[in-house]
């Protein structure tokens, strides 16, 4: 996961609302989790169902500190679905799964507190 700015330095530069609307953030349900032992940093390969309009996409996520693979299937997560795919080793990551850093900088997944339909867009 590459950050546009250093989150410790404060807020990012202001953007226009139209720029925000270009980022397509959707909710999906994790349907499969696979190990990713060849990743440089501990990570998991997620398969996420974003509903019929977008379908199933894959993502590499460095979330092994707080999450076990067997606990993730069925969990809803938010992801950016309109970035170009990114090659991570031999794996093609198609979406960017979203999270926030905890006090130690480890990823905590971002998800709704109530179940919503897969494919719903953030607004």
Helix extents (H) in the chain: 17-21, 69-72
User: Domain total for the chain?
Assistant: 1
Within a domain: 119: no
pTM of the model: 0.89
> Can you read off the two tokens belonging to residue 93?
């990551």
Within a domain: 120: no
Within a domain: 23: yes
**CATH at residue 60:** 2.40.50.140
106-123: per-residue pLDDT in tens? 999 999 999 999 999 998
34-68: per-residue pLDDT in tens? 999 888 888 999 999 999 999 999 999 999 999 99
Inter-residue contact 47 to 32 (CB < 8 Å): yes
Nearest to 30 by CA among 10, 50, 14, 15: 50
d(CA 38, CA 40): 6
Within a domain: 8: no
């Amino acid at each position: 996961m590459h950050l546009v700015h250093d989150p410790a330095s404060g807020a990012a530069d202001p953007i226009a609302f139209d720029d925000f609307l270009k980022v397509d953030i959707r909710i999906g349900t994790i349907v499969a989790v696979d190990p990713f032992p060849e990743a440089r940093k501990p990570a998991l390969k997620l398969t996420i169902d974003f509903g019929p309009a977008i379908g199933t996409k894959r993502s590499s996520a460095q979330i092994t500190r707080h999450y076990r693979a067997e606990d993730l299937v069925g969990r809803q997560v938010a992801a950016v679905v309109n970035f170009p795919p990114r090659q991570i080793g031999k794996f093609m990551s198609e979406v960017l799964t979203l999270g926030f850093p905890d006090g130690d900088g480890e990823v905590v997944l971002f998800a709704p507190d109530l179940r919503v339909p897969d494919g719903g867009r953030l607004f």
